[in-house]
Structures are given as C-alpha cells and as structure tokens.
Amino acid sequence: MDLLESWRSGRAILWVALLSQLVCLVVAYGVIGISIDLLSIYLIGLPILVSALIAFLYRKRSDAPKLAIGAEATAILMATLSMGTLLTYSAGTSHFPYADTNLRAAGMAIGFDWLGYAGAINDYPWLCRVLSRAYDSFNLQFVLILAVLTAAGKIERLRNFLFAVFVALSLTCILFIFLPAVSAYGHFGAAARQLTNLYAPEGDMHVLILQRHIAILEGLRDGSIRQVSAQTLTGLITFPSFHACAACLFMWGFWGVKDTRAAALILNLTMLVATPLFGAHYFVDLIGGAAIAITAIVASNCLFARAAACRPLRREPQAVFRPDPLHADDLPVQRPELLQARATQ
C-alpha cells in the first residue's frame, strides 16, 4: 500500500470527527448565545483553507504524496485544535462550583504540595528559564510532529495521532464542564505572586495568560462575555491538564520515528515538570491529562484497527493467458478427431 492509499484508507474517520466537532460548536454557541467576531473567523479559517487547498491541488499528484498528506493533516489538526479551544468557551459557561479546593486536596493526599514545589523551583532562576522554554514548546511540537511523521512516511501513526488529539480534546472539554477551576495561581493568590522568578510582576507572558484565563472564565460564568475573539483566545481548562495530555501524545507520536525518540522524551518529560508551574496546574491535573492521553491513544488505535479489519481486501486481477503470436508454432496442436471425441462424451 502506497503512502496516499494508506492515508486515504482512514481519512474519512478524521473528517467525520471534524464534522461532529463543528456541529457541536454551532449547537453549543447557538444555545448559549455566544458569537465569534468576523475577524476571528478570518484569522482562524484562512490558514485552514490554504492548507486544504494545497491538499486538494496535490491530491492526485503521485510525484508529491507527502505534500498532499502533510497539507491535509495540517488543515485537520488546525481545525481540530481551533474548534476544540472554542468549545471550551461554551463549556466554561457552566455554573458548577470551582473545584480548586478539591483538586489541591487530591494533590496533598498523594504528597504533592504545590506551593512547596513552586517555591523550590523559584529559588533557581536558570531552572525557571529552562522549564519555561520547555512549556512554551507546546505549539511548536504540533508543527514538528506533523512534519516528522509525514517526512518519515509514518502515515498510520500520523492518522492515529490526529484522531487521538480529537478524542483528548473532547474528553477534556467534557470534564471541564463539571470541574472548572481558576488554577493554582488564582487559588493561592498573593502567595503565588511572591514567586517572582516564576511569575515576574511586570509583563510576563505566563502571568498575563493566567490572569486572562481567570478574567475570561469569570466573564463566561457571569454572562458578561458572550463574544469570542481569536486575539484573546486562551486555555481555560485546569483539570485535566491538556499540556500534560499533549506531552504524552507527543512522546507516543514521536516514538514512531527512531531518530526523534530521545529528544522528544527529554523535552516532554521536562514539559511535564514545568506544567504545574507555568500552567498553574495541580498535580492531579497532570494525572488526569496522562489518563486522557492513554485513553485517546487506545481508542484511536482500536478504531483504526477495527476499520482496517472491516475493509474489504483488494483482489489483484488474475492474469489471462494469451499466446504469443511470434511463438504460436511452439504450442501443442489439438487434433480435430480428438476434439470431436471429447465433445461427444
């Protein structure tokens, strides 16, 4: 099976998943009364459309199968991540009580003290910088994994990874409805703000994102925010941690290419260490994210394995014997009386 045929064999599942995500988004926003400004639709939709157009133009080009596959995979991933993020805004309107106290208590029950951990890391500015870089590799790794898996011809791993991302986003969004939280940064307040190597008091990107997370979540819950803008989109989910979930998905995805295993393992284990700090997650959020990733990987592998088993096998055309006219004299000659005798039997 060539690359394009391998990709097309499971592509329909990815597009059905994407369509279901779009339907959920339209219904949720319609019921709740949330809108998206036109500029945001343009900013989100244009890169997706460009990637889809490239995939369409190269869909039958046998000389560049990886370009067609990579472009379509890029369109699917961008659409999945964009709609998944937008869906968290509808989930954020739920009125379930904040779960921060329970999430912190769950971490303490297994021996994890968030303030103690953050304070220990805060004493080493160089370590804070290293962990910050690892945490910020989140978006870049999505780009890299598409490029690496496509270039290496690991089409089945690429396809399964894309569906696993869809499953993981769906599950985290559902859980977020019932377990909203303001994050450890918001929960600990002044005590967290004293960790100035982690959370610089002026202009720190992570602090701005955490503050925006709290403000938007409050606005969604009290009804003061009902329009979404791409320029202010931010992660709203504390439990389960999608950063932790993505780190596990990345390690699994890159494992399919031998040359990237060690680097991906080191980078994503470091990102897991950084996630409670720069994502202000409780320890139990990481456990939840890892569990979601494992569930998504197993679900994706099982689904595509089942789909492959149900797919009818291609039958190769049978070769038809045709005598070579140049060597017809070499063929055995059937005597007329023998043919007549066989016909009368």
Lowest mean pLDDT among 17-26, 57-66, 180-189, 312-321: 312-321
Q: Which residues pair with 228 in a beta bridge?
A: 36
Instruction: Answer whether residue 218 shows pLDDT above 80.
Output: yes
**Residue whose tokens read 């019921």:** 31
Q: Evaluate if residue 286 carries a pLDDT over 60.
A: yes
Interacting residues of 312 by C-beta distance below 8 A, sequence separation 6+: none
Whether pLDDT at 128 is above 80: yes
Q: Is the CB of residue 261 less than 8 Å from the CB of residue 68?
A: no
Residue 343 CB coordination number (10 Å): 7
**36-79 per-position pLDDT tens digit:** 988 888 888 999 999 999 999 888 777 788 898 999 999 999 99
Best CA proximity match to 180, nearest among 260, 287, 256, 90 = 90
Per-residue tokens: 14: 């990815």
Q: What's residue 337's pLDDT?
A: 58
pLDDT tens digits for 11-41?
899 999 999 999 999 999 999 999 998 888 8
Q: What pLDDT, on the 0 to 100 scale, is given for residue 1?
A: 53
Q: pTM higher than 0.85 for the full model?
A: yes
C-alpha–C-alpha distance, residues 159 and 313, integer Å: 20
Exposure b/e, 103-139, CB count within 10 A at least 16 = b:
bbebbeeeebebeebbeebbeeeebbeebbebbebbe
The C-alpha angle 123, 126, 127, rounded to 5 degrees, equals: 70
Specify the 3-state DSSP secondary structure of 237.
coil
Q: Residue 50: its pLDDT value, please?
A: 94
